[in-house]
Structure 1
Amino acid sequence: MTEQHATGQHATEAELLSAAALTAFRLNGQFLALAETLARPVGLTAAWWQVLGAVSPAPLPVSAIAREMGITRQSVQRIADLLVDKGLAEYRPNPAHRRAKLVAMTPAGRDAIRAIGPAHADAARALCGETDAEELARIVEGMRALSAALDRSADQLPEGRRGGK
């Protein structure tokens, strides 16, 4: 099913791409605002929470965190340094690469993430009150499919026209 204009005509591929991008930009802003609201009471920022969340399953090098989050390595490095200074994360030796240390969450970092849990659960319930869990699951799957398609199509762009890859 494609989007239709008020005139009844179907949107072009370029218009659909623009609509998807503008919607994603708006969602990004909304999620960042929500993340700031949830993280602030426990002394975190949305960016700190993102980095801690990325290393929650396992320690990662800064470059891998940056790729996963879609931001620059330098931004992640600054945040990781702050998290280490605050005792929420630590650097560990990387057996695969001597110079690229791993960022790992400390017990204090895990405690901070856990402290966000109740407010996060409340926000999730409120969102699912607006759109049920099944619909939200379909939306997430669609977002993942779109992200994967963007990754694949980026490789088809001529050199110099690719984004931040």
Structure 2
Amino acid sequence: MPQTKRTPAGEALSGLILDLFRLNSLLFTSGDRMVAGLGLTSARWQILGAIVAAERPQPVAWLARDLGAARQNVQRIVNDLARDGLVTFETNPHHRRAQLVVLTDKGRQAFDAAMRLQLPWVNRLADGLSVKDIETVARVVTTLRGRLESGEDPDPRA
């Protein structure tokens, strides 16, 4: 069987994927340090952000879908947030068992405080980068995410 090679684009994308894995780890570590004083972690902050970004209260499964995360992991973190009074649950009129996750005032204050800490951090991180370059990377990431979400994930055996 002949050995196949990566295309030049495939080679470049492989390197980018490895860098994205490293970047994701570094972002979570940096975020954890940034919001630790607020009693948050990056994962908790991310879920609070998904709740804030939603137009209306959503069940955990929908939050997980929006985040591209496993429902069980999101449920565990939402339960921790509820225990700490940052979110509460409301009855879902459309589904008896899938309660809606609602941000409390305490949760909103924690999220807003995290965002105030993030502001100078993200500005320093972006220093020296062009908006055009950032937008180009964002388009590539969005395209790749869309392909994977839509099931365009190529069969590696093909």
Please tell me the TM-score bracket, short chain as reference.
0.7 to 0.9
After superposition, residues 1-165 of structure 1 pair within 5 angstroms as 11=8, 13=10, 15-57=11-53, 58-152=56-150, 153-154=152-153, 157=155
Deviation, structure 1 residue 116: 1.5
Whole-Å separation in 2 of the counterparts to 1:59 and 1:146: 28
For this pair of structures, how many residues does the alignment match? Answer: 149
**3-state secondary structure, aligned to 2:48:** helix
Question: CA separation of 1:141/1:12 partners in 2, compared to 1, >3 Å: closer, same or farther?
Answer: closer
Whole-Å separation in 1 of the counterparts to 2:20 and 2:126: 19
What TM-score, normalized to structure 1?
0.80
Percent of pairs identical after alignment?
A: 34
Are the equivalent residues in 1 in contact too, given 2:31–2:42 (CA < 8 A)?
Answer: yes
Which range is displaced more, 25-34 or 106-115?
25-34
Q: Which residue identity is paired with 1:142?
A: V
Whole-Å separation in 2 of the counterparts to 1:18 and 1:142: 13
Deviation, structure 1 residue 52: 0.8
Which range is displaced more, 63-72 or 98-107?
63-72
Q: Which residue identity is paired with 2:120?
A: D
5+ long unaligned stretches in structure 1: 1-9
Deviation, structure 1 residue 134: 3.2
**3-state secondary structure, aligned to 2:88:** strand
5+ long unaligned stretches in structure 2: 1-6
Deviation, structure 1 residue 119: 1.9
Report 1 or 2 for greater relative contact order, CA contacts < 8 Å, sequence distance ≥ 6: 2
